[in-house]
Amino acid sequence: MRPVHDFALQAILAGADSTSEVGRRMSVSKQAAAKTIAALEERNYVARESDPADKRRQRLYVTPHGLAMLSEAESIFDELRAEWERQVGAVPLAKTEALLRELVGGDAIHVDAARWMGPGAGS
């Protein structure tokens, strides 16, 4: 699993049920979204089903295997965060998280955008 796979799974869980919609939500091309979805399908994290309203259309959904993997990833992150808290303490970690929220703001971060990598990136 790579971060892009998690972003795609989260987009699908949030309602992006087509390659085009996953691409829009991740701010990547349809081709890039298709490659990511293909990798997720190959690993049985995502599958397709016929749209009840239009049998020609195939809708994406996260499989039980994909949901289990996301749950495991969340547990791993919780363990990492607990380790960070043991290393630096609850208050410093909370301050760091608050500062990061302040820096990021309410807008989504698009990892393919140059601004994600910092000032001057991509120029």
**Per-residue pLDDT reduced to its tens digit, 60-97:** 999 999 999 999 988 999 999 999 999 999 999 999 98
In the chain, where do the E strands start and end? 46-51, 54-62
pLDDT confidence of 58, banded at 50, 70, 90? confident
Question: What is the per-residue pLDDT across 29-48, written as a single tens digit (0 to 9) for each?
Answer: 999 999 999 999 999 999 99
Q: Is 12:60 a contact under the CB 8 Å cutoff? A: yes
Q: Would you call 90 exposed, middle or buried from its count of C-beta atoms within 10 A (0-12, 13-18, 19+)?
A: exposed
14 has a pLDDT exceeding 50: yes
Report all structural domains of the chain as residue ranges with CATH numbers, in order of start.
3-64 (1.10.10.10), 75-117 (no CATH)
pTM: 0.71
**Angle of helix 19-26 relative to helix 3-13, nearest 10 degrees?**
120
